[in-house]
Chain A
């Protein structure tokens, strides 16, 4: 057992300093998408809704509602969105209210 004790000591500390310091590994995990309202057209929004396998996107009139709670960050929407979307980079998504996870993204592109 002493051997294991030494082995443990030799390995050193690997523990993250999060939440006191940001953790570099956080950048590696997939995150929900972010969309650019100015580039988002109605037709594009409908395509995004159709491609989402987890029902995280919904069209409500002139807004696209992104449900961060239902989103699995599978990123199937990003190739469809092209310049109108990118990973948000937000991994700290915890919320105390289900509705706070529903993000309204105005569809401004359709007026142009």
Chain B
């Protein structure tokens, strides 16, 4: 870590921001969030100041109609930038109005913003200044149907058919090998254009638009609970992480505070989600290296994890556990106490045996290498970032409620390869077991068998628009959600940023690091992302 955790009372990146744009009004945006309103021409200055300060990580960028302006004629738009100030336990949310069809290009100072710049162009028709080619992110070139989105306001710019991705040349011995969108059995739809000479991978182009469902538009007009229902089904294996981030966003907007027991129950569910995802990634890695018995062993444990989820929370994938302001279901602590140590012991035995199997480990070492610089530049999160040496974990850096603040061990590796990512995940399993065991032992925050769901907020006549930012450390990394509630308590606009939306952008970098064709499946398993979380 570069900057000290303690230090000046004014956090360094915030200080740099205030010095760069002294006139911008700065207010609290809920616990752990600072909201800064910028004018259109201040935005570029602020982005540069934060980029130079160090310690500010661009976590998300999106555009929404300014204020509650939802008139059909075409609302004023505002850009929202979410910076994570990881050393200062703060998220900094910048909002700047955009007038006209262009805004200052942000991806020069903050390269992580490029995907979102493309996304904003497709969604709202505004683009960064300059003639940079924008890639197609969400809109399929094949979907020629007229626009009939349920959302009242989207100014979708339909890019021309040529604008699918940046022009590129595949020449010499190389050719582009198309894989997908219909891929292996029970794999998610994804197009992979692998540029190869037959063995070595030279480049890769990914297309995600086949699965785009427009979830964020579908959230508009729903009650917070109805929106949470869809948020959980955006990315099934991230239901708790994304759902918790969304619930916390609504709670931040309405000032609700979930009961301590409910919060502890949610965190147990979040850790169980981490456990089964890491077991699933282990199984997928064995499948990718062709270690059949290891795969079977890991799949047995994955199934046991899912059965434990069902026994403790009534759902194999922990849907319907998180609720706005609490939990919908309690947790069967007795089942957890009885089965968790056995399961984690088995997981340790299998993973130990895997790490002692040379034919397996040799395939993982030095495959899919991501440098720390690349991980930082692209704003990666979760085990992928931690395996490349970024010491990030929102559970520690942005604590909420009765979390494990201060005593959470965050495993990191510096190799940045597949083996590093596997080692990080296996180390996290140990930490997960310790956390759940601690919560089960602590009487004060013992997960209750049933915690009443608080009434959905804002049903009483409120005062205007309320906004909130929420976050959670899902198994794939930091999941963010932003929500704006109308006076009637319904969702006016929402933004979801699952960890998968972040980490896929490093996948082609990892593929390019001198790998061969058969490494693709191994690298994909080690990232353990979902297409659903990206193409939401």
Q: Does B128 contact A (CB under 8 A)?
A: no
How many angstroms from the CA of A14 to the CA of B307 in the assembled complex?
13
Chain A 1-18, CB-CB to B under 8 Å as 1, else 0, gives 101110110010010000
* Contact A53–B297 (Cβ < 8 Å): no
Least CB separation from B292: chain A residue: A4
Please judge, given known A-B contacts A4-B293, A4-B294, whether A30 and B315 are in contact too, CB under 8 Å: yes
Taking CB atoms, residues of chain A closer than 8 Å to B226 are 53
In the complex, the chain A residue whose C-beta lies closest to that of B316 is A29
Within the complex, the shortest CB–CB distance from A82 to chain B, in Å, comes to: 15
> Which secondary structure dominates where chain B touches chain A?
helix
Q: A65-108: contact bitstring with B at CB < 8 Å (1 yes, 0 no)?
A: 00000001011100000000000000000000000000000000
Contact flags (1/0) for B299-324 with A, using CB distance below 8 Å? 01001000100110011100110000
- Distance between Cα atoms of A69 and B61 in the complex (Å): 37
Query: Is the CB of B191 closer than 8 A to any CB of chain A?
Result: no
Closest A residue to B300 by beta carbon equals: A14
**Residues 336-374 of chain B: 1 if any A CB is under 8 Å from the residue's CB, otherwise 0?**
000000000000000001000101000000000000000
Interface size on B, residues (CB 8 A): 24
User: Does chain A have a CB within 8 A of B68?
Assistant: no
Q: Evaluate contact between A11 and B297: CB separation under 8 angstroms.
A: yes
Chain B nearest CB from A58 CB (Å) reads 16
User: Are A4 and B314 in contact, CB atoms less than 8 angstroms apart?
Assistant: no
Chain A residue with the shortest CB-CB distance to B329: A75
**Are B319 and A25 touching (Cβ within 8 A)?**
no
Q: Tell whether, in the assembled complex, residue A30 and residue B314 are in contact, meaning their CB atoms are under 8 Å apart.
A: yes
Does B291 make an interface contact (CB < 8 A)?
yes
Q: Provided the pairs A28-B311, A74-B320, A75-B320 are in contact, do residues A4 and B291 lie with their beta carbons within 8 angstroms?
A: yes
Chain B residues 225-260 with CB under 8 Å of chain A are 225-226, 229-230, 233
With contacts A53-B229, A74-B229 taken as known, whether A4 is within 8 angstroms of B310 at the C-beta atoms is no
Residues of chain A with a CB closer than 8 A to B230's CB: 53
**Contact assessment for B353 and A3 in the assembled complex, using a CB-CB cutoff below 8 Å:** yes
Closest to A14 in B: B300
Are A8 and B314 neighbours in the complex by a CB distance under 8 Å?
A: no
Q: Measured between C-beta atoms, what is the minimum distance from B169 to chain A in Å? A: 44
Nearest CB on B from A99, distance (A): 25
Known: A3-B353, A53-B229. A74 touches B293 (CB 8 A): no
A43 to chain B, nearest CB (A): 19
Verify if A47 is at the interface (C-beta below 8 Å from B).
Answer: no
Q: Indicate whether B296 reaches chain A with its CB closer than 8 angstroms.
A: yes
Query: CA of A7 to CA of B300 in the docked complex: distance in angstroms?
Result: 13
A11 CA to B301 CA in the complex, in Å? 11
Contacts of A28 in B (CB 8 A): 307, 310-311, 314
A110 within 8 A of B: no
Tell me the nearest residue of chain A to B357, going by C-beta: A4
Across the interface, A11 reaches (CB within 8 A) one of B225, B300, B310, B319, namely B300
In the complex the two chains form, what is the Cα distance from A25 to B316 in whole Å? 11
Cα(A72)–Cα(B300), bound, Å: 26
Name the contact of A8 in the complex, choosing from B297, B316, B319, B357 (C-beta under 8 A): B297
A25-B315 Cα distance, complex, nearest whole Å:
11
Nearest opposing residue in chain A for B314, CB measure: A30
Task: List B contacts of A11 (CB < 8 A).
Answer: 297, 300
Would you give the 0/1 interface string for B216-227, flagging 1 where the beta carbon is closer than 8 Å to chain A?
Answer: 000000000110
Which of A4, A7, A72, A74 neighbours the largest number of chain B CB atoms within 10 Å of its CB? A4
Is there an interface contact between A5 and B293, defined as CB atoms closer than 8 Å?
yes
A7 touches B293 (CB 8 A): yes
A53 to B320, CA, bound (A): 12
Report the nearest B residue to A8, measured CB to CB.
B293
Q: Are A25 and B307 in contact (CB under 8 A)?
A: yes
Known: A4-B353, A28-B310, A30-B315. A54 touches B297 (CB 8 A): no
Across the interface, which residues of B come within 8 angstroms of A7, CB to CB?
A: 293, 297, 353
Q: How far is the CA of A3 from the CA of B225 in the complex (A)?
A: 50
Q: Which residues of A lie under 8 Å from residue B229 when comparing CB positions?
A: 53-54, 72, 74, 76
Bound complex: CA of A1 vs CA of B300, how far in Å? Answer: 19
Which 6 residue pairs across A and B have the least CB separation, nearest first? A53-B229, A4-B293, A28-B310, A8-B293, A53-B226, A74-B320
A contact set with B: CB distance below 8 Å: 1, 3-5, 7-8, 11, 14, 25, 28-30, 53-54, 72, 74-76
If A29-B316, A72-B229 are given as contacts, then 15 extra A-B residue pairs at C-beta distance below 8 Å, sorted by A number, are: A3-B353, A4-B353, A8-B296, A11-B300, A14-B303, A25-B307, A28-B311, A29-B310, A29-B315, A30-B320, A53-B230, A54-B229, A72-B233, A74-B320, A76-B328
List 19 contacting pairs A-B, 8 Å CB cutoff, sorted by A: A1-B359, A3-B353, A4-B293, A4-B353, A7-B293, A7-B297, A8-B297, A11-B300, A25-B307, A28-B307, A29-B315, A30-B315, A53-B225, A53-B226, A54-B229, A72-B233, A74-B320, A75-B320, A76-B229
